[in-house]
Amino acid sequence: MNAFWLATIGTSLIAFALKYTGHNVPEKFFAHPKVQSVNALIPIALLSALVAVQVFTEKSKLMIDHRLAGLAVATIALFLKLPFPVVVISSAVTSAAIYNWL
- Give pLDDT tens digits for 15-70: 999 999 988 988 888 888 998 999 899 999 999 999 999 999 988 889 888 999 99
> Is the pLDDT reported for residue 1 higher than 80?
no
Question: What does the pLDDT read at residue 60?
Answer: 84
pLDDT of residue 81: 97
* Residue 96 banded pLDDT, cuts 50, 70, 90: very high
Instruction: Transcribe 39-72 into DSSP letters.
Output: HHHHHHHHHHHHHHHHHHEETTEE--SHHHHHHH
Same domain, 64 and 97: yes
Query: In total, how many domains does the chain have?
Result: 2
Find the domain containing 94 and state its range: 29-101
- Other C-beta atoms closer than 10 Å to the C-beta of 72 total 14
- In terms of domains, do 50 and 62 share one? yes
The confidence score (pLDDT) of residue 102 equals 75
- Same domain for 35 and 15: no
The reported pLDDT for the residue numbered 83 is: 97
Whole-number pLDDT of residue 58: 87
**In this structure, are 36 and 66 located in the same domain?**
yes
The pLDDT, as a whole number, for residue 41 is 94
As beta bridge partners, residue 62 has 57
Q: Does 35 or 73 have the greater pLDDT score? A: 73
